Chain A
Amino acid sequence: MSLLWLRVAVFLYGVAALAVLPAALYDRPRWRHVAIPATVAALFFHFVSLTEMLNAAHHALPVDTHETQSLLGLLLALAFLLVYWGFRTLALGIFLLPLAFLLGLLPAFRPGLETSTLPGIHSSWLFLHIALLLAAYAALFVSLVASLLYLVQERRLKSKALILHGQTSRIKLPPLETIDSIALRALLFGLPCMTAGLLIGSFLADITYGPRYFGDPKILLAFAMWLAYIGMIFIRRSSGLRGRRAVYLSSFVFLVILCVWASNQFSAVHRFAAP
């Protein structure tokens, strides 16, 4: 049954991802009346699916790549709604909703059937560790998208020809300072999530595996990611980094996060159950 709800959720993410395009790109604000309710409904069904899975399935937390992907999709859709309610902009939905749709698509139609022998699989601390780290990833992605939008809006304002000849006047982007505020707040939200997620993970690993766990390259890379995250926030706050260089920096940290994600496949002590 949880699969059915997930499929409904994925369908609704698809509807929302399509509806957000005319609202954000073609100045047809009424489409938000489709995009927002569709996202809310998708989140509801996704949450129901997740809860059913946790209650009824063989494990109490996402253990394979597909399930983790699906949870990340849920967090991205939630981030879109939070940004919409906080800043009244749909622009981030152009990126976040299709990604939520794609992340949910595979788990909805080709679920992983593997069980994990991971000790503490039923621990809510482990679930918290995963959820917090995924929230940090989602926050960084939001920040990266916002930085990209900042760049686009900055270019539009600078290249007056585009504005003058109405070529882009129908594309509604939030003001520069609003986009910058979204990018920074997302990072500031992500930092405690990442810190707490890593601390919980380290604590659990120390109990389960002992010090050898911390010698694994994947774990070392995760701590490098944390340092990069802190460094990025420090640079952005101290020098007021915006625009192109902010995009480069966010992209770099995002790349590090992708490496950390990918290294799950190669780590000896920390890996997803293969789907």
Chain B
Amino acid sequence: MTKNANGSRSELILLGINHNTAPIEVRERLAIPAAQLADATRSLVAAPGVREGLILSTCNRVELLTVHDPAAVETTEQGSVSTHATLLRFLDEYFAVPAATIRPHLYEFREREAVRHLFRVAASLDSMVVGEPQILGQVKESYTVAKEVGAVSGSLEKLLQSAFTAAKKVRSETQIGSSSVSIASVAVDLARKIFGTLAGKQVLLVGAGKMSELALRHLIQHGATKLFLANRTLARAERIAAGLQAPGISTEVIAFEDLQAQAQRADIVITSTGAAGQIFGRGNGQQFIQRRRGRPMFFIDIAVPRDVDPRMNEVEGCFVYDIDDLQQVAQSNQADRNREAAAAEQIITAEVARYQQRLQVLDAVPAIRALQQQAEDLRQAELARAAKTLATLTPAQQEAVEALTRSLTAKLLHPQLVALRTKPEDS
């Protein structure tokens, strides 16, 4: 428990569910759309005893971070109901999900552990994909909403700012987010190793499939603007092309029979057909590179069985990656991230300790002020008692006595002030 500025006690509690503790069926019932987040946060801080609150709702977690006034809860609940129950009741009332359904999946952290959990979440150490960058943005969005509705003030403000600092430190001092761990983002990374920027690059999608379309959309996000689509069923290619229409993106459907004659127009080729045989052979690769006057081509072969002859990778300028290659890169990157996560955990531990230290100093402020005031009162009283004697001194001598008493008081107080700042509870 900590004391706030006016000296009253408060308790930090974090209650939530995430991808590790709850299945999607439970998570989706508690998920809060962005448009309702402000309303939900308002309802949370309206709950008895909740002084400050923040709700973090993403596809993988719903967490309530609250600062409680324990006295208020005890008064309301005749001293028998815990803050945990208050939060459970909020979930029950707001989401209309029975407490019994949620309880088995809930985790609860208090004080230091709550701080640690929040720091880990913000630093993406508690994410399904460790190191993914979105979570920090989502925590910041929740913070903005909570601040707008007045649910975040003194305690949570300091805590969240410290969480953002810790997350940034983890990003800048470790390589946790530097490599891609999904097939689509690995494909984009490899494309960037070949072409640098993907702005204006041309992409050919052969066949259709969830993963290939995802890879294509990633490439578009990174700047690819011209898309060619080829499918054995022309109508299907046209349907996909229509689905990809967006400002600044141009699409063109290529007849499947024209593939060998047209493929060199694309810098990146994604293949994902169900064909039994290969669509592009080694010879095709040589022709493409010749027609492109040496400019490289990147083949992302997601099909099983493979659409591109692996020997095409031997052709100068052709780079062929199949699904296994991409998966292995993703796994290798994931292993790298896990290694970096160990370093990140150390940073989090240090940041939590630093935060707790700051908090202790803040907690000690009223006691420090009281002690200083008491000492000053004593000093003034002693000076007043000796006023007659001091009156015979010259102004310079009086000033010297004043300085001497001040210095003596400060020196006598020093060990006690240090003790208060470092171990306020014991003091």
Complex Cα distance, B334 from A169, in Å, reads 13
Complex contact B196–A240 (CB within 8 A): no
A104 within 8 A of B: no
Stretch at the interface among B24-32, B78-86, B187-195, B361-369: B187-195
| Chain A residues closer than 8 Å to B325, beta-carbon distance | 160, 164
Complex contact B196–A175 (CB within 8 A): yes
Complex contact A175–B336 (CB within 8 A): no
Complex contact B294–A164 (CB within 8 A): no
Complex contact A239–B293 (CB within 8 A): yes
B164 within 8 A of A: no
Complex Cα distance, B336 from A240, in Å, reads 37
Complex contact B293–A240 (CB within 8 A): yes
- The B-contacting residues of A in range 236-258, CB under 8 angstroms, are 238-244
- A67 nearest CB across to chain B (Å): 39
Closest A residue to B201 by beta carbon equals A177
Complex Cα distance, B192 from A27, in Å, reads 17
Complex Cα distance, B330 from A164, in Å, reads 9
Complex Cα distance, B179 from A163, in Å, reads 12
| Chain B residues closer than 8 Å to A176, beta-carbon distance | 193-196, 296
Query: Number of contacts between A and B (CB, 8 Å)?
Result: 58
- The A-contacting residues of B in range 325-378, CB under 8 angstroms, are 325, 328-329, 332, 335-336
| Chain A residues closer than 8 Å to B335, beta-carbon distance | 166
B313 within 8 A of A: yes
Contact with A along B168-198 (1 / 0, CB 8 A): 0000000100010000000000101111100
Complex contact B295–A240 (CB within 8 A): yes
Closest B residue to A244 by beta carbon equals B316
| Chain A residues closer than 8 Å to B294, beta-carbon distance | 239-242
Given contacts A158-B313, A160-B325, contact A165 B190 (CB under 8 A): no
Complex Cα distance, B314 from A58, in Å, reads 59
A267 within 8 A of B: no
Complex contact B319–A178 (CB within 8 A): no
Complex contact B316–A175 (CB within 8 A): no
Complex contact B313–A164 (CB within 8 A): no
Complex contact A243–B317 (CB within 8 A): yes
Complex Cα distance, B52 from A242, in Å, reads 63
Complex contact B321–A160 (CB within 8 A): yes
Complex Cα distance, B74 from A1, in Å, reads 83
- B26 nearest CB across to chain A (Å): 37
- A235 nearest CB across to chain B (Å): 11
Complex Cα distance, B186 from A157, in Å, reads 13
A153 within 8 A of B: yes
Partner of A174, one of B196, B296, B316, B328: B196
| Chain A residues closer than 8 Å to B192, beta-carbon distance | 175
Contact with B along A168-188 (1 / 0, CB 8 A): 010000111110000000000
- B413 nearest CB across to chain A (Å): 43
B292 within 8 A of A: yes
Complex Cα distance, B293 from A238, in Å, reads 8
| Chain B residues closer than 8 Å to A240, beta-carbon distance | 292-295
Count of interface residues, chain B, beta-carbon cutoff 8 Å: 25
Complex Cα distance, B293 from A200, in Å, reads 36
Complex contact B328–A178 (CB within 8 A): no
- The A-contacting residues of B in range 261-301, CB under 8 angstroms, are 292-296
Complex Cα distance, B196 from A157, in Å, reads 13
Closest B residue to A240 by beta carbon equals B294
Partner of B329, one of A27, A154, A163: A163
| Chain B residues closer than 8 Å to A158, beta-carbon distance | 313-314, 319
- A25 nearest CB across to chain B (Å): 15
Complex Cα distance, B196 from A243, in Å, reads 17
- B126 nearest CB across to chain A (Å): 25
Given contacts A27-B175, A160-B321, A163-B329, contact A175 B195 (CB under 8 A): yes
Complex contact B190–A157 (CB within 8 A): yes
Partner of A153, one of B175, B193, B314, B332: B193
Complex contact B321–A177 (CB within 8 A): no
| Chain B residues closer than 8 Å to A239, beta-carbon distance | 293-294
- A149 nearest CB across to chain B (Å): 13
| Chain A residues closer than 8 Å to B292, beta-carbon distance | 240
- B312 nearest CB across to chain A (Å): 11
Complex Cα distance, B321 from A158, in Å, reads 9
Complex contact A157–B193 (CB within 8 A): yes
Closest B residue to A181 by beta carbon equals B196
Contact with A along B309-325 (1 / 0, CB 8 A): 00001101101010001
Complex contact B319–A157 (CB within 8 A): yes
Complex Cα distance, B336 from A27, in Å, reads 14
| Chain A residues closer than 8 Å to B316, beta-carbon distance | 154, 242-244
Closest B residue to A174 by beta carbon equals B196
Given contacts A27-B175, A242-B294, A243-B317, contact A157 B194 (CB under 8 A): yes
Given contacts A27-B175, A244-B316, contact A177 B329 (CB under 8 A): no
Residue from B196, B317, B329, B332 having most chain A Cβ neighbours under 10 A: B196
| Chain A residues closer than 8 Å to B336, beta-carbon distance | 166, 169
Complex contact B317–A177 (CB within 8 A): no
Partner of A175, one of B175, B194, B314: B194
Complex Cα distance, B317 from A153, in Å, reads 12
Complex Cα distance, B325 from A231, in Å, reads 40
- A96 nearest CB across to chain B (Å): 21
Complex contact A177–B175 (CB within 8 A): no
- 6 nearest CB pairs, A to B: A240-B294, A240-B293, A175-B196, A178-B196, A164-B328, A242-B294
Given contacts A165-B332, A175-B196, A176-B194, 16 further A-B contacts (CB under 8 A): A157-B319, A160-B325, A163-B329, A164-B329, A164-B332, A175-B193, A175-B195, A176-B196, A177-B196, A239-B293, A240-B293, A240-B294, A242-B294, A242-B316, A242-B317, A243-B317
Could you list 10 examples of A-B contacts with CB < 8 Å?
A27-B175, A160-B321, A164-B328, A175-B194, A175-B195, A176-B296, A177-B194, A177-B296, A242-B294, A243-B317
